[in-house]
């Protein structure tokens, strides 16, 4: 019997997704570049094996699929995707559908969508979040491409997706690169969320001198309240884990240089290109870059000496840290959703912001208690900034004092808190009607005759220096 769907690329994500699909009752044909991987996967599939058709050749794989065919690509982003599309193209019929489920750059997805449309082919770009565990038991799925293509595979995608109170976390975001863009911003927010938690950990460890297990207790406590989230939960687990080799807290033996695959950077780049404020996300990407410069940091410490770091008056600090995380998180999401809104206008997607918040409620890395409220706030039309929605404005009002105290105390102790600092500066800027860019405009006009607008009358004006301006 023909399989309902095909999956190409049995790596970490592909294997998990294929098992998830089979578990939900669908027949799935699988193919992998390295044949032994396919054989091994089929042999290990256990009770799901009858629903899995392992294929040795691409031709056999395509032939194993029910028509019109749907094929999920789960290979590394970039050239492998183009290579697999090129290899599949001659084997497919016009109504067949290719779905790129890797972490593609949305611009590449736009390009591939345009190429597919030109050739009369169907192509979806689909962001999948939740890592291996999510892919296996319920990821968050963000689709982009022709609506009719999405509708065709939606029953399978909704069946395998995470559920929030029965509602599947799988949504069509818009045309071409919309799904991959939403996934990219998800990852940017993830970077900022992780970084802010790491900065708070720095204050707990270096500012307050707390041991890893004590810090785990703080995270666990926070996970019972408004900060409840997957990232706080796993931070607690990581902080509590003991290294089986040294019997010390594992956290104390992990090298402090962070890796990155690029989606956080893409978010920052796109935000800069669109002129959308995303300073907390940019700070988080920058912090990872800095973390990688271990030798340089060691040299810096040798030259300047270590920062004092210890905080003398720590009364109330843990509560302030919790408030800082809450306010910082809201500011960061305000930037993320603002970026999505700007991109939606730029690329003509009509992104459903409330549905995006809903799709992130389960299955993905940034899932948290707060996303439900965000979905409600974003459903109200005319909202220009998440921080201004009544339910979040009140939270910002209650918690920005804690954020301010933490950023100030960290700065005075020499503890770097770039993402929290960026979030605070964003909040302060967005509540300041009269800023300081008037001086920038004066400077620009002085050296480049760029002109400025005036508070007291319309039009473009120059300072008196314009009379003596010489090129």
User: Is the CA virtual torsion 188, 190, 192, 195 positive or negative?
Assistant: negative
Cα 364–chain centre separation: 9
Which tokens belong to 445?
């006009």
| Least distance between ligand NDP and beta carbon 357 (Å) | 19
Cα 302–chain centre separation: 36
Asked if 84 is part of the footprint of ligand NDP (rule: CB under 6 A), the reply reads yes
Q: For ligand NDP, give the closer residue by CB, 131 or 451.
A: 131
Is 221 annotated as a binding-site member? Answer: no
Chosen residue from 3, 20, 53, 103 binding ligand NDP by CB under 6 A: 103
Active site (annotated) includes residue 190: yes
Contacts of 126 (CB under 8 A, 6+ apart): 72, 99, 100, 101, 141, 142, 143, 144, 145, 157, 179, 180
Instruction: Establish whether the linkage from the previous residue to 142 is cis, with ω within 30° of 0.
Output: no
Asked if 391 is part of the footprint of ligand NDP (rule: CB under 6 A), the reply reads no
Give the CA radius of gyration of the chain. Answer: 25
Q: In what order do the strands lie in the sheet with 97-100?
A: 52-55, 28-31, 5-8, 70-73, 97-100, 122-129, 140-144, 170-174
- Out of 190, 282, 320, 362, pick the active-site residue: 190
Per DSSP, the three-state class of 368 is strand
Chosen residue from 128, 160, 334, 339 binding ligand NDP by CB under 6 A: 128
Asked if 12 is part of the footprint of ligand NDP (rule: CB under 6 A), the reply reads yes
Residues in region 426-445 near ligand NDP by CB under 6 A = none
Active site (annotated) includes residue 163: no
Contacts of 221 (CB under 8 A, 6+ apart): none
| Least distance between ligand NDP and beta carbon 239 (Å) | 22
d(CA 199, CA 328): 11
Asked if 11 is part of the footprint of ligand NDP (rule: CB under 6 A), the reply reads yes
Is 310 annotated as a binding-site member? Answer: no
| Closest residue by Cα to residue 108 from 87, 125, 83 | 125
Is 468 annotated as a binding-site member? Answer: no
Query: Quick one: which segment of 4-12, 113-121, 385-393, 426-434 binds ligand NDP (CB under 6 A)?
Result: 4-12
Q: For ligand NDP, give the closer residue by CB, 102 or 146.
A: 102
Total length of the chain? 471
Is 11 annotated as a binding-site member? Answer: yes
Asked if 74 is part of the footprint of ligand NDP (rule: CB under 6 A), the reply reads yes
Residues that bind ligand NDP (CB under 6 A): 9-14, 32-34, 37, 74-77, 80, 83-84, 102-103, 128, 131-132
Could you list the active site residues? 183, 190
Which residues define the annotated binding site?
9-14, 32-34, 75-77, 103, 129-131, 186-187, 191, 261, 288, 444, 450
């Amino acid at each position: 019997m023909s399989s309902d769907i095909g999956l190409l690329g049995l790596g970490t994500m592909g294997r998990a997704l294929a098992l998830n699909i089979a578990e939900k009752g669908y027949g799935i044909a699988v193919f992998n570049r390295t044949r032994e991987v396919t054989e091994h996967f089929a042999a290990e599939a256990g009770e799901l094996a009858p629903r899995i058709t392992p294929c040795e050749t691409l031709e056999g794989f395509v032939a194993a699929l029910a028509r019109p065919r749907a094929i999920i690509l789960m290979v590394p982003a970039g050239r492998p995707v183009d290579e697999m599309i090129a290899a599949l193209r001659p084997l497919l019929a016009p109504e067949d559908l290719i779905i790129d489920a890797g972490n593609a750059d949305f611009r590449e997805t736009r390009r591939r969508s345009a190429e597919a449309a030109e050739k009369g082919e169907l192509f979806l770009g689909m962001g999948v979040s939740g890592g291996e565990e999510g892919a296996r038991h319920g990821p968050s799925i963000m689709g982009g491409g022709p609506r009719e293509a999405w509708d065709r595979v939606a029953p399978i995608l909704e069946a395998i997706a995470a559920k929030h109170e029965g509602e599947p976390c799988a949504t069509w975001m818009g045309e071409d690169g919309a799904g991959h863009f939403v996934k990219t911003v998800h990852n940017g927010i993830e970077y900022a969320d992780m970084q802010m938690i790491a900065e708070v950990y720095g204050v707990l460890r270096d500012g307050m001198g707390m041991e890893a297990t004590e810090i785990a207790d703080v995270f666990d406590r926070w996970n019972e309240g408004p900060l409840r989230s997957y990232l706080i939960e796993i931070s607690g687990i990581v902080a509590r884990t003991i290294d089986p080799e040294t019997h010390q807290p594992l956290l104390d033996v992990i090298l402090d240089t962070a890796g990155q695959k690029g989606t956080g950077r893409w978010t920052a780049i796109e935000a800069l290109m669109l002129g959308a404020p995303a300073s907390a996300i940019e700070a988080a990407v920058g912090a990872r870059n800095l973390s990688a410069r271990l030798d340089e940091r060691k040299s810096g410490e040798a030259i300047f000496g270590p920062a004092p770091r210890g905080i003398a008056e720590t009364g109330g600090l843990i509560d302030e840290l919790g408030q800082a995380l809450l306010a910082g998180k809201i500011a960061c999401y305000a930037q993320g959703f603002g970026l999505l809104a700007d991109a939606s206008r730029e690329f003509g997607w009509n992104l459903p912001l409330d549905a995006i918040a809903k799709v992130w409620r389960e299955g993905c890395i940034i899932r948290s208690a707060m996303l439900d409220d965000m979905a409600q706030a974003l459903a109200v039309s005319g909202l220009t900034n998440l921080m201004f929605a009544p339910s979040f404005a009140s939270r910002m009002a209650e918690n920005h004092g804690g954020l301010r105290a933490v950023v100030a105390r960290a700065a005075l102790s020499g503890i770097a808190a770039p993402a929290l600092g960026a979030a605070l500066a964003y909040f302060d800027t967005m509540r300041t009607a009269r800023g300081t860019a008037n001086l920038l405009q004066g400077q620009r006009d002085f050296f480049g005759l760029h002109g400025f607008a005036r508070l007291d009358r319309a039009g473009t004006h120059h300072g008196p220096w314009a009379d003596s301006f010489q090129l």
